[in-house]
Amino acid sequence: MGCVAAEEEAAELWAAAHGDLGTLDRFVARRVAGEPLAWITGQTTFCGEVIVVHPGVYVPRWQSEPLAREARRRLAPGGVAVDLCTGAGPIPVALGCRRGFARVIGTDLDPAALACAAANGVEAIRSDLAMALLPALAGGVDLVTGIVPYVPSEELARLPRDVLTHEPLGALDGGSGGTVLLERAVAEAAVLLRPGGSLLLELGGDQADALAPALAGHGFGAIVVARDEDGDVRSLWCRRA
Ligand SMILES: C[S@@+](CC[C@H](N)C(=O)[O-])C[C@H]1O[C@@H](n2cnc3c(N)ncnc32)[C@H](O)[C@@H]1O
């Protein structure tokens, strides 16, 4: 799915208002003030799945769908996956957790995100990245995904005004260079994954290069840097040796 056109937005707001003009007026006012559409309608779609999105929770982006589809290709039925920083839980849902395709554990620090993920049928655990899963799951995980905060702190001010005004900064701020949580994710995934297991991380800019020493140091290889149709780096896929 691409970005939502104005006509589609209007149709979604109308449907969510259930034909009540007063409600529609309030919805339009919120949207004009820059609130994310999904917070107003209460849902979005991701990889063809309806995802409940509570106000205050990061809205899943269609740009993350290729990572989710690659993750699905790499996970066998009955496998075990961990989705770091799961937010509303779109990656576990895309991995088929609602249909019992695999066990997918989502972690997050934000109670609002955890409640939203649970509402989406995701096994969601309060954890600073994977800390609460260690050592119990060490070496027993087939796949780790992470759309961790990766916007460099020094670039936060350049985000679109609506994003800065409404979306939770804790979902975006990746620290200096944006790689603080990415580097931790690499280290913790190395402990979680079985040999041959996959790690898929969303990132951008030159962050794949910045992460190369950490990946090598933690025994990751078969590295693929995935780009979008504009040639911009979007994610990194690799396997634990
Ligand atoms: C960019 S959002 C991604 C959410 C979801 N994966 C998605 O694609 O919609 C990042 C999420 O990471 C969570 N988060 C931030 N720091 C965290 C940490 N140290 N450990 C776990 N979750 C964290 C935020 O609460 C937020 O829900």
Using pLDDT thresholds of 50, 70 and 90, give the confidence band for residue 184.
Answer: very high
Average pLDDT over residues 84-104: 97
With a 6 Å cutoff on the Cβ, whether 107 touches ligand 1 is yes
With a 6 Å cutoff on the Cβ, whether 44 touches ligand 1 is no
CB atoms within 10 A of CB 112: 16
Closest Cα to atom 4 of ligand 1? 87
Average pLDDT over residues 173-190: 98
- Amino acid 6: pLDDT: 87
- Amino acid 231: pLDDT: 96
171 C-alpha vs ligand 1 centroid, how far in Å?
5
CATH of the domain at 199: 3.40.50.150
* Summary mean pLDDT of the chain: 96
Place of tokens 């260690």: 134
Sign of the dihedral defined by the CA atoms of residues 114, 87, 84, 239, in that order: positive
Does residue 97 surpass a pLDDT of 80? yes
The CA angle 186-167-33, to the nearest 5 degrees, is: 160
| 177 domain-assigned | yes
User: Containing domain of residue 216, as a range?
Assistant: 57-240
| 103 domain-assigned | yes
- Amino acid 86: pLDDT: 98
Does residue 106 surpass a pLDDT of 60? yes
- Number of domains the chain is built from: 1
With a 6 Å cutoff on the Cβ, whether 67 touches ligand 1 is no
| 147 domain-assigned | yes
| 75 domain-assigned | yes
- Amino acid 5: pLDDT: 82
113 C-alpha vs ligand 1 centroid, how far in Å?
8
Average pLDDT over residues 215-224: 98
| 173 domain-assigned | yes
| 16 domain-assigned | no
108 C-alpha vs ligand 1 centroid, how far in Å?
6
Distance between CA atoms of residues 208 and 235, nearest Å: 8
Q: What is the pTM of this model?
A: 0.96
With a 6 Å cutoff on the Cβ, whether 120 touches ligand 1 is no
- Amino acid 194: pLDDT: 98
Q: pLDDT by residue (tens digit) across 4-40?
A: 688 999 999 999 999 999 999 999 999 999 999 999 9
| 172 domain-assigned | yes
Q: What is the DSSP letter of 150?
A: -
In this structure, are residues 199 and 187 in contact, taking their beta carbons and an 8 Å threshold? no
Does residue 3 surpass a pLDDT of 80? no
Distance between CA atoms of residues 65 and 143, nearest Å: 16
Does residue 1 surpass a pLDDT of 50? no
| 45 domain-assigned | no
